Structure 1
Amino acid sequence: MSTAHDRERAWLLVTRREVVSRITDKSFLIGTVLMVAMIVGFIGFTAWQEERTDEATLGATPEAVAMAQAVADAAPQVDDKLEVRLVELDDDAAARAALEADEVDAWLHPVDGDWQLTSESSEQDSLTAATRVVVRQQVLADNAARVGSTVEELEAGSTVGTEFLRGDAERAAVAEAVGFVFVFLFYFAALVFGMQLASSVIEEKQSRIVEIIAAAIPLRHLLAGKVLGNTALALIQLLVYLAVGLVGLTFTPYKSYVPALSGPAAWFLAFFLAGFVALACLWAVAGSLASRTEDLQATSTPLTMLMLVMFFGGLSLDGRGQVIASFVPPVSAVVMPKRILAGGVDWWEPLAALGLLAAFALATVWVGERLYRRALLQTGGRVSLRQAWSAAE
């Protein structure tokens, strides 16, 4: 027989059971390890791509050797990840033979007063871009010399600079990439843990074990334990992913951004916690409304639609729409961390958005607890929201 003290601590026992049963489950551990491996692999590939140097072989017939040599010498100044090696060819026939034999990547030669870069079957993007810049500069310098001028004089006033109101382009690209990771991790965790939570509720209801549990502890304690247990698991897993990601970034050319990402990552954890609690409670309600596993798709459809709105809204919203959405729960759970990453957010905005999200979570827990308690013990088929809300205690 349970004592009053045991009943008061029932939510803690359920939480512990949820955490222990999942953290010792092989599928959970394997899934976590695989995700960590994917993160490490992606970061490793990114670092390799950034450090990798493209090597190109440029062929030139006698009349183009001087220009090709200029391209080979100046290419690293145009693209610091490109190295060009010059191969001198006797004539056009030798050039075509070298292309067909893959001895050169491209052949530079003059055509009707201009220059042409011929490749075997596909354009060499980095080599083509560098060649265009160098040839233009060389020809412009020659033409300027003929009229007694210089390239600098001819190009005076033609330079277009760039400026970013919120940092530089590289920082913006990093913020965009990390923002995508934040949105994906929230969606992934809410979907995976939510489905598992709902499934466990259905299993207990379908096997009628919940009736035995309800005789021993209050149902609100059962709900609290399930929500808190899954929230703890999701948070632990998320911390592992973020730690691996931030540590991994220190081995890439983007390591200078790691300190700047720590603050937004902490904000993301806070928004994740509030948003996940609300969604976890709704997943528990979706499970309680179903009487069989087959019913879950119908009872969880509104919730999955909401999560899709959050996912695509977090990825696609910008401008004024993004600002407004960053204060609208539960979408703010993914939108505000992205805005924080991008910069230009006043200090009070994350606090206000988090406060609204926390209020939404509390309201969701209150409504969800009532629906959960009143639907969980009804086994005569799928229960509608109206039936659950108006059912007797």
Structure 2
Amino acid sequence: MSTDKTADKTADNTAGTTAGRTGDRTGGEPAWLLVTRREIVSRITDKSFVLGTAFMVVLIAGFIGFSIWQDEKTTDVTLGATPDSVAMATAIKDGAPDVDDKVEVTVTELADRDAAEAALRDDEVDAWLHPTDDGWQLTTESSEQDALTTVTRAVVQQTVLADNAAQVGTTVEALQAGSTVTTEFLRGDAERANVAEAVGFVFVFLFYFAALVFGMQLASSVIEEKQSRIVEIIAAAIPLRHLLAGKVLGNTALAVIQLLVYLAVGLVGLSFTSYSSYVPALSGPAAWFVAFFLAGFVALACLWAVAGSLASRTEDLQSTSTPLTMLMLVMFFGGLSLDGRAQVIASYVPPVSAVVMPKRILAGGVEWWEPLLALGLLAVFAGLTVMVGERLYRRALLQTGGRVSLKQAWATAE
């Protein structure tokens, strides 16, 4: 008993000393602000965080650079032609820019079939064009030349159709009259839809990536403090709700800063591509995404902190975080796969709305009040999550000796 009393007295003295030092250093500032600053400074000065962010920036810039290079890249192909196909090969050469301006065709005349096959084996030509009983054939050595095949089919079809029309005394236009099929979008156009789909995928991926990485690190830091018993000293110095608030706000600030860096790099890079005209239109949806990201991340960060407080060892985190991981997978695949009425409904259901509503905004046709309503519902959900999470966090954090269940944490007395 005397030993226990001595230990308790020592802990009390340590807590009092810590509290005094905290007050001296902060100059009376709130404890949650001190914790927030500690979280931000410790992560910004962490080499792995800096290098990870830099790597992602380089990856984004590299992908955009590769896309620009691919967009400007010209495909040069050499088409071999025997005497019976020189005229058609020349027509393909002349008509290629009208089909695909990134394809340039050079025609090489060959004496006969044997010469053509030898030229293919020696890589002197990329393909050999020759007539067959029912049309024309492109022969390559081992793999199809996709760009050349597309151009050849289009030019041959148009040329043969023109010859056949001339033989019956009509024109290609007359033969094709009424056969044109066009597409129309109720909102925007096909190119805009493709851009919206690609950017929507980026939004969903960035949210999932940030919530998973920062969430795991937040939960791990909670476990480390709990396992080392340092949280008991901290709890004697500041309220646990301040500790939770500082951790959540610090990680949220870091996640938002990192997200803004990624979005800025992406939008600036996009301005150098052929899709630069869409950059102004993407700025609004990007701002909405940041707002939804902020509300959704606060809720998930609080849940990650709870997952860490329920565990007593690092090995327990996989078990305590399983429901949260499943929720994030639902958000990820839901954000990517939902469409139609299901997408509209999900855009109002927190926390899935954090990734689904920004995608709807990208696609266009959303009424002005819809994002506001969805964001309001998400903010309410985040507030309720913080209230429930704060209670679970406080009551589970100081319990040691094994994994704490949600029921135990909720029922534990203050």
How does the TM-score come out when normalised to structure 1? 0.98
Question: Is residue 175 of structure 2 the alignment partner of residue 154 of structure 1?
Answer: yes
Judge conservation of contact 1:197–1:283 (CA < 8 Å) in 2: yes
1:127 corresponding residue in structure 2? 148
SS at match of 1:85: strand
**2:191 corresponding residue in structure 1:** 170
Matches within 5 A, 1:306-325: 306-325=327-346
Task: Give 1:193's match in structure 2, choosing from 214, 227, 250.
Answer: 214
Letter in 1 for 2:365: G
Q: Residue 241 of structure 1 aligns with which residue?
A: 262
Q: 1:303 corresponds to which letter in structure 2?
A: L
Aligned with residue 355 of structure 2, among 330, 334, 350:
334
2:282 alignment partner AA:
L
**Partner deviation per Cα, 1:134-177 (whole Å, 9 max, x = no partner):** 11111111111111111111111111112122222221111111
Tell which deviates more after alignment, 105-114 or 192-201: 105-114
What is the aligned partner in structure 1 of residue 276 from structure 2?
255
Comparing 166-175 and 231-240, the one that deviates more: 166-175
Report the 3-state secondary structure (helix = DSSP H, G, I; strand = E; otherwise coil) of the residue aligned with 2:321. Answer: helix
Structure 1 unaligned residues grouped into runs of 5+? none
Asked if 1:269 corresponds to 2:309, the answer is no
Secondary structure of the residue aligned to 1:328 is: coil
CA drift at 1:345:
0.9
Distance (whole Å) between structure 2 residues aligned to residue 182 and residue 204 of structure 1: 33
Distance change (3 Å), C-alpha of 1:152 and 1:384: same
* % identical aligned pairs: 81
Question: Contact (CA 8 Å) 1:7, 1:218: kept in 2 or not?
Answer: no
The aligned amino acid for 1:125 is: D
Q: Does 1:364 align with 2:385?
A: yes
Instruction: For 2:187, give the aligned amino acid.
Output: R
Per the TM alignment, residue 6 of structure 1 is displaced from its structure 2 partner at its CA by 6.5
CA contact (8 A) 1:325 1:331 kept: yes
* Superposition deviation, residue 264 in structure 1: 0.4
2:16 paired residue number? none
Q: Runs of 4+ in structure 1 displaced over 2 angstroms?
A: 1-8
> 1:20 Cα deviation (Å)?
0.4
Q: Structure 1 stretch 157-166 or stretch 373-382: which is displaced more? A: 157-166
On the 8 A contact 1:7/1:217 being kept in 2, the answer is no
| Structure 2 gap segments, 5+ residues each | 1-19
* Alpha-carbon distance in structure 2 between the residues aligned to 1:189 and 1:139: 56
Match runs of 1:299-310 below 5 Å: 299-310=320-331
Q: Deviations over 1:332-385 (max 9, x none)?
A: 000111111111111111111000000000000000000000000111211000
Residue 129 of structure 2 corresponds to which residue in structure 1? 108
Contact 1:289 1:375 in 2 (8 A): yes
Matches within 5 A, 1:11-160: 11-160=32-181
Pairwise CA distance, 1:7 = 7.2
RMSD between aligned residues: 1.3
Q: Secondary structure at the match of 1:90?
A: coil
1:87 alignment partner, SS class = strand
In 2: Cα distance, 1:156 partner to 1:381 partner: 78
Deviations 1:13-51 (A, max 9, x none): 000000000000000000000000100010001111111
Summarize the alignment of residues 368-387 of structure 1 with structure 2, pairs less than 5 Å apart. 368-387=389-408
1 CA distance for matches of 2:187 and 2:77?
36
Distance 2:154 2:220 in 1: 61
Separation (CA, whole Å) in 1 of partners of 2:222 and 2:57 = 29
State the AA in 2 paired with 1:248: G
Structure-2 separation of matches of 1:261 and 1:98: 50
Could you tell me how far apart the structure 2 residues matched to 1:217 and 1:35 are? 36
Aligned counterparts of 1:302 and 1:207: Cα–Cα separation in 2: 26
CA distance in 1, matches of 2:316, 2:399: 14
User: Which deviates more from structure 2 when the two are superposed, residues 266-275 or residues 81-90?
Assistant: 81-90
Q: Deviations over 1:295-335 (max 9, x none)?
A: 11100000000001001111111111111111100000001
TM-score, normalised by the number of residues in structure 2: 0.93
Shift of 1:286: 0.4
Give the drift of 1:90. 0.9
Matched pairs, number: 393
